[in-house]
């Protein structure tokens, strides 16, 4: 029974969506009940998975393989490693909380939950796919629900609604409208998101097809491809083929991450989306990009990754600075959080680019941590929007009198997003910064300054929304008092703070996934804690190795051979 | 050249589906004449029963691996022919089910409508088996004859008349090209049967084959032979448009596969370039022009042009896998397209309009129709987990194995372009509010068609393996595509073996 745990997690939301088709919209409580039940199953199974995953054994666990098409070499091959497990957990948490966050949606409730469940299930599917075909399958499948969720239940920006003059109306659906920043309709946001993601998805698909062809193995199985595919040193277009594939895969998937300069769809999409969709979008959908890069580019083309990953190290600086600055000047709550997400994804790219044990683990933990922090912020921005019907920062203010609970949670959310000690974000940020310092000191300096910038815009927003004088038109607003309204925030805070205080299980799980990968890419043995516990910091364990990580408190000595034997797990 | 026209009963059994359908066709016609007061829906059900029986017979042939050739290889019955016959018969049955309500609009000759549809299907069944220049010509013209009448069936409607005339003039022109091409090829090679041809690279053969390709390109509506498509699709009665957009394309691809893979196997380096060019033009032109359409039938017409470009990728691959992918893709296209047209017919029946703007708020008026249309359009766009995605991927895998990178790149870009205009329709249906919120009802047979389309689209998308196995078996004869004579007609069968 337990070996099918991945199938429960993956198919519980699908089953929920299927069941919802047969329910009438006139019974909203039944609709919500089914959504809660299916996501609860998903969450419980994901929590079980997280604690049942054995970090000592490492490798891919709970593997399921079903032949899907022999002719095309496709199998539904599911399995999680230390990188996929926390992300599955994050998806399940955000899906479960998202159902509660969207409790008050009354327009076509059933359809909303159907698309939300499909979106989340597809996302979870990517995190557990060990087959390139299914990775792409679920990846692309997660895009279309976004269109409907944004278009049907999303919201326009204030500037857009103010454009009432005839010329403005004409302007807002024209091509020139693309340059009209901050004044978009939800339809525009939805279409931009889908076309952008599809366009880059097919770039990645081209890379996948090239891997399929040149490996000559007639299979899409990642585990087979990473062992047997030899894609190196094939000349093509004036360079080598592996570089072309890597570039295709990297930029194809990085667009959803989103790396600068491919980010422009993302804040627009965040802003237009309903709260639960923003949560899933910023919380887990964006991580599909990093995850797919790790799963495809890192696993199958390790040597090319070592060679070309500096590209990400350059671009991540622009992500951090650009996203942060725009967030600082944005006047719309969701734009601030959306651009802050773009900016924070730069940290993940920095951690990935540095390619050592600590920084990559930090990047993975950061993905998990950011999912919780940004989920909270979007949930609360959604609450404020529902109450005040505006996202415009200058017109908000003083809401802490009316909604003390939300204001309190918002402070926690901001703290988490900044990376205060006590939240899991802190651990992730420190690991990224410490791990990347040797290789990219300049980027690390920018990243640290980026944290200061994060504080600036988040505190700014907190002040603008919750403190200062309150306009009388908001006197009717109310706090989240009902259990269903408080539960999602409390769950996310609990996860964020809980892992912030007790991070070792998370750390162990992530390290068990990261270690063999980094070992394969860099040929540097992972650093184990030395026996004397005291101060071996600074001693190189192997020639050319990075400095031993400050946080490498892993109790078990590890060697490359033990990873090699574990690989086949 | 001599024809051996002595045929045994066993040979005649190979023609059983066609013979049966011909007899059934006569029955339909006689019933129509002798019972003028009979509601035409009875005739529709009668035709569907005959088509279903034919389909069952073909399925039996397929299961028992019946194969053979008749009339000096003019007519072959191999598994690919059976596949395309089932394709044609199945789509015809669905079209008849979808047109039952629509036929009320015809003021005269309601019964003959079904006769003509089934007659065209009969012609296309022969196209699927054509293995010879003569049978190719005769069967194509036979099937098109019915369409000439069907397209102009709305006698009071000027657009329908215009459509009929356009289709007729251009169709006859294409027939002339075909005849001229055949005569050139025959003059150069002295052979008519595809598998016996050993064409040489002479100017005459080249021009001849180009002309034949142009005529077939007209049938499938590939750029630059597409100019009749938008107006004809727009003006023709919608069920006829649905029929025209599916069945003749399938039958013509059966001929194209035989022509290129068998007769022209030695010309492969040349025709790959030709097909790559036509494919790129079709996909790009179809998709870009579709963006500007305001009428759903015209949109589907242009999207059909683009889809044909996609299928041609598989033909350009020129391998066994390419032919598998073509068959698979056409099947996914059948379900998605017939479903989309069924929704168009149902909506037009209820609101009397085929403009995309009038689809506003369909989700509120009929959640079922909107959801079905959403899935059909997304399948046409190639979004997982729908059948169209697997079809596109299959085609791309076949092409990447042959190294057709330019073609794949253009194909992938076109997926994104097509996503836009399909999503515009989705936006109207789901996001816009309806001007008239009255619910849209749907009749029983139409619902059946939509359900069949949905089932095909979802099942093939989620578990395509049985269909993949079927198409792989259907084209086994191309598994050793090496030279011009690679395909030998299978040995004459002990029946049922």
Do A68 and B401 make contact, defined as CB atoms within 8 angstroms?
Answer: no
Do B400 and A210 make contact, defined as CB atoms within 8 angstroms?
Answer: yes
Residue A516 lies in a domain: yes
Element (DSSP H or E) covering residue A498: helix A483-501
Residue A33 CB partners (closer than 8 Å, separation 6+): none
| B35-41 long-range contacts, CB within 8 A, separation 24+ | B38/B111, B40/B100, B40/B103, B40/B110, B40/B111, B40/B113, B40/B114, B41/B100
- CB contact B75 to A (< 8 Å): no
**DSSP secondary structure letter of residue B428:** I
- CB contact A18 to B (< 8 Å): no
Residue A299 lies in a domain: yes
Residue A452 lies in a domain: yes
**Per-residue model confidence (pLDDT) at position A167:** 54
Residue A306 lies in a domain: yes
Question: What 3-state DSSP class applies to A74?
Answer: strand
Distance from CA of B28 to the nearest CA of A (A): 40
Cβ burial, residue B273 (10 Å; 0-12/13-18/19+): exposed
Torsion of CA B135, B141, B143, B146, to 10 degrees: -150
**Per-residue model confidence (pLDDT) at position B24:** 92
Residue B144 lies in a domain: no
pLDDT-derived band at A539, boundaries 50, 70, 90: very low
Measured between beta carbons, which residues in chain A are less than 8 angstroms from residue B367? Answer: 111
Residue A382 CB partners (closer than 8 Å, separation 6+): A101, A274, A275, A276, A278
pLDDT at A533 over 50: no
- Which residue among A71, A187, A206 sits closest to B412, beta carbon to beta carbon? A206
Do A202 and B465 make contact, defined as CB atoms within 8 angstroms?
Answer: no
Q: State the CB neighbour count (10 A cutoff) for residue B420.
A: 16
Do A72 and B409 make contact, defined as CB atoms within 8 angstroms?
Answer: no
- The residue-averaged pLDDT of A484-492 equals 90
**What's the total number of domains in chain B?**
1
**Per-residue model confidence (pLDDT) at position A270:** 84
- Which residue among A140, A187, A190 sits closest to B384, beta carbon to beta carbon? A140
Q: Residues 363 to 392 of B: which have CB under 8 A from any A CB?
A: 363, 367, 378, 383-385, 389
pLDDT-derived band at A268, boundaries 50, 70, 90: confident
- The residue-averaged pLDDT of A560-569 equals 44
Residue B439 lies in a domain: yes
Do A206 and B409 make contact, defined as CB atoms within 8 angstroms?
Answer: yes
- The residue-averaged pLDDT of A379-392 equals 87
| Residue of chain A whose Cα is closest to the Cα of B424 | A191
Do A108 and B363 make contact, defined as CB atoms within 8 angstroms?
Answer: yes
Measured between beta carbons, which residues in chain A are less than 8 angstroms from residue B468? Answer: 69, 71-72
B471: left (phi over 0), alpha (psi -120 to 50) or beta: alpha
Query: Which tokens in the block code for residue A104?
Result: 């008050």
| Residue of chain A whose Cα is closest to the Cα of B421 | A191
- Which residue among B400, B423, B468 sits closest to A213, beta carbon to beta carbon? B400
- The residue-averaged pLDDT of B112-119 equals 90
Q: How many CB pairs under 8 A join A and B?
A: 80
- The predicted-structure confidence for A53-87, as pLDDT tens digits, reads as follows 988 888 898 999 998 888 888 999 999 999 999 99
| Residue of chain A whose Cα is closest to the Cα of B377 | A144
Do A71 and B472 make contact, defined as CB atoms within 8 angstroms?
Answer: yes
Cβ burial, residue A1 (10 Å; 0-12/13-18/19+): exposed
Do B419 and A198 make contact, defined as CB atoms within 8 angstroms?
Answer: yes
- CB contact A141 to B (< 8 Å): yes
In a mutagenesis test of the B interface, which of A26, A71, A110 is the best target, namely the one with the most B β-carbons within 10 Å? A71
Averaged confidence pLDDT in chain A: 84
- CB contact B472 to A (< 8 Å): yes
Q: State the CB neighbour count (10 A cutoff) for residue B189.
A: 19
Residue B35 lies in a domain: no
**Per-residue model confidence (pLDDT) at position B100:** 87
pLDDT-derived band at B483, boundaries 50, 70, 90: very low
**Per-residue model confidence (pLDDT) at position B196:** 82
Range of the domain at A197: 2-521
Do B463 and A213 make contact, defined as CB atoms within 8 angstroms?
Answer: no
**Per-residue model confidence (pLDDT) at position B19:** 92
pLDDT-derived band at A545, boundaries 50, 70, 90: very low
**Per-residue model confidence (pLDDT) at position B302:** 94
C-alpha distances out from residue B127 to B132, B135, B181, B219, B221, Å: 10, 8, 17, 12, 17
- The predicted-structure confidence for A116-127, as pLDDT tens digits, reads as follows 999 999 999 999
- CB contact A568 to B (< 8 Å): no
Q: Residues 279 to 318 of B: which have CB under 8 A from any A CB?
A: none
Residue A130 lies in a domain: yes
Measured CA to CA, the distance from residue B110 to residue B122 in angstroms comes to 19
Measured between beta carbons, which residues in chain A are less than 8 angstroms from residue B420? Answer: 191, 195
pLDDT-derived band at B490, boundaries 50, 70, 90: very low
- The predicted-structure confidence for B437-465, as pLDDT tens digits, reads as follows 888 888 888 999 999 999 999 999 999 99
Measured CA to CA, the distance from residue A116 to residue A99 in angstroms comes to 8
Residue B432 lies in a domain: yes
In a mutagenesis test of the B interface, which of A26, A72, A205 is the best target, namely the one with the most B β-carbons within 10 Å? A72
| Residue bearing tokens 């002040």 | A463
Measured CA to CA, the distance from residue B404 to residue B420 in angstroms comes to 25
**Per-residue model confidence (pLDDT) at position A182:** 57
Residue B65 lies in a domain: no
| Residue of chain B whose Cα is closest to the Cα of A195 | B416
Q: State the CB neighbour count (10 A cutoff) for residue B405.
A: 16
Residue A559 lies in a domain: no
Measured between beta carbons, which residues in chain A are less than 8 angstroms from residue B465? Answer: 67-70
Does the structure's ipTM exceed the value 0.95?
A: no
pLDDT at A534 over 90: no
**Per-residue model confidence (pLDDT) at position A154:** 82
Measured between beta carbons, which residues in chain A are less than 8 angstroms from residue B393? Answer: 72, 133
**Per-residue model confidence (pLDDT) at position B73:** 81
- CB contact B479 to A (< 8 Å): no
- CB contact A451 to B (< 8 Å): no
**Per-residue model confidence (pLDDT) at position B492:** 41
Question: What 3-state DSSP class applies to A239?
Answer: strand
Measured CA to CA, the distance from residue B117 to residue B482 in angstroms comes to 39
Q: Report the range of poorest mean pLDDT among A246-255, A451-460, B61-70.
A: B61-70
Q: Residues 171 to 210 of A: which have CB under 8 A from any B CB?
A: 186-187, 190-191, 194-195, 198-199, 202-203, 205-206, 209-210
Taking 3-state DSSP, the helix, strand and coil percentages for chain B, each rounded to the nearest 5, stand at: 75, 0, 20
| Residue of chain A whose Cα is closest to the Cα of B466 | A69
A69: nearest Cα among B469, B83, B261: B469
- The predicted-structure confidence for A185-198, as pLDDT tens digits, reads as follows 788 888 888 998 99
pLDDT above 70 coverage of chain B, percent: 95
- The residue-averaged pLDDT of A329-355 equals 89
Residue A544 lies in a domain: no
B223: nearest Cα among B280, B166, B294: B280
Total residue length of chain A: 569
Q: State the CB neighbour count (10 A cutoff) for residue B403.
A: 11
pLDDT at B174 over 50: yes
pLDDT-derived band at A93, boundaries 50, 70, 90: very high
Residue B122 lies in a domain: no
- Which residue among A141, A191, A199 sits closest to B384, beta carbon to beta carbon? A141
Where would I find the H helices in B107-237? Answer: 110-129, 133-151, 158-189, 203-220, 229-235
pLDDT at A370 over 50: yes
Measured between beta carbons, which residues in chain A are less than 8 angstroms from residue B388? Answer: none
pLDDT at A235 over 90: no
A62: nearest Cα among A124, A135, A128: A128
How close are the terminal C-alpha atoms of chain B, in Å?
Answer: 31
**Per-residue model confidence (pLDDT) at position A165:** 54
Q: Residues 434 to 463 of B: which have CB under 8 A from any A CB?
A: 463
**What's the total number of domains in chain A?**
1
Measured CA to CA, the distance from residue B121 to residue B106 in angstroms comes to 21
Range of the domain at B292: 269-485
Measured between beta carbons, which residues in chain B are less than 8 angstroms from residue A213? Answer: 400-401, 403
DSSP per residue over A158-198, as a string? Answer: HHHHH--SHHHHHHTTSGGGGGSTT---HHHHHHHHHHHHH
C-alpha distances out from residue A218 to A71, A209, B89, B348, Å: 8, 11, 35, 47
Measured CA to CA, the distance from residue B88 to residue B194 in angstroms comes to 22
pLDDT above 90 coverage of chain B, percent: 53
- The residue-averaged pLDDT of B394-401 equals 92
Measured between beta carbons, which residues in chain B are less than 8 angstroms from residue A69? Answer: 464-465, 468
| Residue of chain A whose Cα is closest to the Cα of B378 | A144
Q: How many CA atoms lie within 13 A of B316 on its CB side?
A: 27
Distance from CA of B365 to the nearest CA of A (A): 12
Phi and psi dihedrals of B484, rounded to 5?
Answer: -65, -30
């Amino acid at each position: 029974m337990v070996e099918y745990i991945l199938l429960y997690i993956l198919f519980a939301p699908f089953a929920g969506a299927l069941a919802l088709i047969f329910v009438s919209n006139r019974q909203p409580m039944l609709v919500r009940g089914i959504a809660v039940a299916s996501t609860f199953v998903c969450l419980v199974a994901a929590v079980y998975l997280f604690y049942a995953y054995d970090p000592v054994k490492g490798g891919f666990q709970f593997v399921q393989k079903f032949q899907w098409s022999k002719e095309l070499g496709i199998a539904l091959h599911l399995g999680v490693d230390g990188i996929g497990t926390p992300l599955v957990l994050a998806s399940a948490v955000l899906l479960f909380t998202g159902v509660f966050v969207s409790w008050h949606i009354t327009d076509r409730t059933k359809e909303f939950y159907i698309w939300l469940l499909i979106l989340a299930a597809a996302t979870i599917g990517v995190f557990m796919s060990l087959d390139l075909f299914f990775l792409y399958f679920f990846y692309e499948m997660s895009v279309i629900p976004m269109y409907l969720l944004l278009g049907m239940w999303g919201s326009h920006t204030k500037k857009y609604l103010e454009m009432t003059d005839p010329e403005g109306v004409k302007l807002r659906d024209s091509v020139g409208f693309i340059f009209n920043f901050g004044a978009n309709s939800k339809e525009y946001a939805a279409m931009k998101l889908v076309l952008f993601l599809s366009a880059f998805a097919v770039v990645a698909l081209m890379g996948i097809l090239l891997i399929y062809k040149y490996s000559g193995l007639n299979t899409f199985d990642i585990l087979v491809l990473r062992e047997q595919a030899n894609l190196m040193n094939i000349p093509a277009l004036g360079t080598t083929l592996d570089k072309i594939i890597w570039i295709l895969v990297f930029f194809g998937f990085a667009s959803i991450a989103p790396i600068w300069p491919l980010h422009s769809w993302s804040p627009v999409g965040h802003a237009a989306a309903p709260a639960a969709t923003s949560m899933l979008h910023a919380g887990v959908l964006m991580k599909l990009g990093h995850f797919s890069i790790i799963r495809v580019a890192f696993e199958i083309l390790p040597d090319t990754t070592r060679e070309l990953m500096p590209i990400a190290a350059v671009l991540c600086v622009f992500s951090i600075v650009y996203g942060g600055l725009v967030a600082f000047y944005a006047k719309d709550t969701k734009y601030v959080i959306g651009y802050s997400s773009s900016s924070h994804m730069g940290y993940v790219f920095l951690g990935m680019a540095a390619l050592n044990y600590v920084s990559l683990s930090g990047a993975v933990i950061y993905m998990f941590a950011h999912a919780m922090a940004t989920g909270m912020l979007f949930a609360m921005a959604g609450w404020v929007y529902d109450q005040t019907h505006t996202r415009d920062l200058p017109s908000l203010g003083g809401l802490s009198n009316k909604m003390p609970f939300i204001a309190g949670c918002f402070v926690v959310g901001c703290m988490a997003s900044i990376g205060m000690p006590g939240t899991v974000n802190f651990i992730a940020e420190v690991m990224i910064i410490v791990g990347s310092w040797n290789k990219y000191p300049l980027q690390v300096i920018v990243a640290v300054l980026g944290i200061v910038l994060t504080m600036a815009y988040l505190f700014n927003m907190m002040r603008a929304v919750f403190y200062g004088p309150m306009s009388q038109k908001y006197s009717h607003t109310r706090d989240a008092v009902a259990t269903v309204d408080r539960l999602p925030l409390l769950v996310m805070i609990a996860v964020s703070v809980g892992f912030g205080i007790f991070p070792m299980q998370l750390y162990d799980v992530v390290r068990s996934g990261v270690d063999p990968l980094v070992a394969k890419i860099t040929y540097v043995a992972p650093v184990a804690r030395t026996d004397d516990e005291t101060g071996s910091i600074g001693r190189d364990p192997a020639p050319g190795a990075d400095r031993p990580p400050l946080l490498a408190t892993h109790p078990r000595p590890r060697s490359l051979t033990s990873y090699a034997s574990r690989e086949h797990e | 050249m001599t024809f051996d026209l002595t045929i045994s009963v066993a040979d005649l059994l190979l023609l059983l589906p066609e013979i049966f359908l011909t007899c059934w066709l006569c029955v339909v016609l006689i019933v129509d004449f002798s019972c003028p007061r009979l509601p035409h829906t009875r005739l529709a059900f009668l035709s569907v029963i005959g088509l279903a029986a034919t389909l069952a017979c073909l399925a039996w042939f397929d299961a028992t691996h019946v194969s053979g050739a008749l009339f000096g290889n003019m007519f072959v019955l191999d598994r690919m022919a059976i596949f395309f016959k089932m394709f044609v018969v199945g789509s015809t049955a669905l079209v008849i089910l979808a047109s039952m309500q629509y036929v009320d609009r015809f003021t005269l000759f309601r019964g003959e409508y079904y006769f003509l549809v089934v007659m065209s299907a009969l012609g296309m069944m022969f196209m699927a088996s054509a293995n010879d220049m003569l049978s190719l010509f005769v069967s194509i013209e036979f099937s098109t004859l019915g369409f000439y009448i069907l397209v102009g069936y709305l006698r009071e409607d000027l657009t329908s008349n215009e459509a009929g005339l356009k289709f007729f003039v251009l169709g006859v022109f294409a027939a002339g090209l075909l005849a001229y091409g055949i005569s050139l090829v025959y003059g150069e090679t002295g052979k008519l049967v595809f598998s016996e041809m050993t064409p040489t690279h002479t100017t005459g053969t080249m021009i001849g084959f180009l002309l034949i390709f142009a005529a077939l390109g007209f049938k499938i509506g590939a750029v630059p032979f597409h100019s009749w498509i938008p107006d004809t699709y727009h003006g023709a009665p919608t069920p006829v448009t649905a029929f025209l957009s599916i069945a003749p394309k399938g039958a013509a691809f059966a001929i194209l596969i035989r022509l290129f893979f068998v007769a022209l196997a030695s010309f492969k380096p040349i025709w790959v370039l030709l097909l790559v060019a036509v494919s790129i033009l079709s996909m790009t032109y179809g998709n870009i022009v579709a963006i500007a359409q305001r009428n759903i039938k015209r949109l589907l017409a242009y999207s059909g042009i683009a889809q044909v470009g996609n299928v041609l990728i598989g033909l350009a691959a020129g391998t066994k896998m390419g032919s598998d992918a073509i068959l698979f893709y056409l099947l996914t296209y059948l379900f998605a397209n017939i479903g989309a047209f069924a929704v168009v017919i149902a909506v037009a029946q209820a609101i009397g309009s085929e403009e995309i703007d009038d689809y506003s708020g369909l989700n509120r008026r009929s959640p079922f129709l909107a959801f079905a249309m959403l899935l059909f359009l997304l399948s046409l766009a190639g979004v997982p987990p729908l059948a169209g995605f697997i079809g596109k991927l299959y085609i791309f895998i076949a092409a990447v194995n042959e190294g057709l990178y330019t073609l794949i790149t253009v194909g992938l870009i076109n997926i994104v372009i097509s996503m836009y205009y399909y999503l515009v329709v989705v936006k109207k249906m789901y996001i816009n509010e309806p001007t008239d919120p009255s619910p849209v009802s749907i009749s029983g047979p139409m619902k059946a068609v939509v359900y069949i389309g949905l089932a095909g689209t979802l099942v093939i998308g989620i578990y395509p393996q049985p269909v993949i196995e079927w198409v792989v078996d259907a084209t086994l004869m191309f598994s050793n595509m090496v030279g011009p004579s690679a395909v030998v007609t299978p040995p004459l069968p002990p029946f049922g073996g």
